[in-house]
């Protein structure tokens, strides 16, 4: 949105921020950091750009051949042993309705955390860490509602590039993640 449409929101956010600081819920530096924007690890699937906030990322690895495992949920592609812990691999291509990259496991693994549970997001290519400033962040357009858009927090726009920023809590809900972790442990005992 143009800066003029952001003005009421930034003013409102500053006012709410002052109240939260006075009540002791947050520090002033926390409010200032939020006002600076989002720090996002960006990645690509084919010609589309995506991202996930860096505070959710634990590690980034070049993909290796997958260990096959039987899952009851179609989006899980296999498993990977990371320092003795078996982690399920979520294929973001499958979530988008695309075929996987192949058995030779091209691409990248992004290790994400959700409430103390770890899983791997398998993507085509990891790009860079970007800071999306407040005026570069847009809500998901309403015309996209109903097209699996609940998995996105927002959109980040840099020049002509548009990045869909993921919400890992919606991408993988807790019961489905626990089921995938259990299935990996049963299929591949340590």
Mean pLDDT, the chain, integer: 81
Q: What is the mean pLDDT of residues 65-84?
A: 83
How does pLDDT run across 92-145, given as a tens digit for each residue? 999 888 888 766 668 999 999 888 889 999 999 999 999 988 888 888 877 665
Q: Which residues pair with 50 in a beta bridge?
A: 43, 164
Place of tokens 């495992």: 69
Alpha helices in 37-190 (DSSP H): 92-95, 168-171, 174-187
Q: Is the dihedral of CA 129, 84, 167, 183 positive or negative?
A: positive
Mean pLDDT of 70-81: 85
Whole-number pLDDT of residue 178: 85
Q: Do 107 and 125 touch, CB atoms closer than 8 A? A: yes
Residue 3 confidence (pLDDT): 44
pLDDT score of 190: 53
Q: Are 151 and 50 in contact (CB under 8 A)?
A: no
> Cβ–Cβ contacts within 10 Å for residue 78, how many?
24
Q: Say which residue, 45 or 13, is predicted with more confidence.
A: 45
């Amino acid at each position: 949105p143009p800066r003029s449409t952001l003005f009421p929101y930034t003013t409102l956010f500053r006012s709410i921020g002052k109240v939260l600081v006075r009540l002791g819920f947050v520090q002033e530096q926390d409010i200032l950091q939020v006002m600076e924007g989002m720090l996002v690890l960006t990645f690509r699937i084919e010609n589309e750009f995506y991202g996930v906030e860096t505070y959710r990322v634990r590690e980034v690895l070049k993909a290796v051949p997958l260990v096959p495992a039987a899952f009851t949920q179609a989006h899980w592609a296999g498993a990977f042993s990371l320092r003795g812990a078996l982690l399920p691999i979520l294929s973001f291509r499958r979530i988008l309705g695309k075929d996987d990259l192949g058995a030779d496991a091209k691409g990248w693994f992004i290790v994400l955390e959700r409430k103390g549970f770890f899983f791997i997001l398998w993507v085509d290519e990891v790009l860079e860490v970007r800071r999306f400033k407040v005026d570069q962040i847009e809500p998901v357009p309403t015309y996209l509602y109903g097209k699996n858009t609940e998995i996105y927090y927002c959109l980040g726009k840099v020049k002509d590039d548009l990045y869909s920023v993921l919400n890992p809590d919606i991408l993988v809900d807790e019961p489905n993640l626990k089921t995938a972790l259990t299935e990996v442990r049963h299929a591949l005992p340590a």
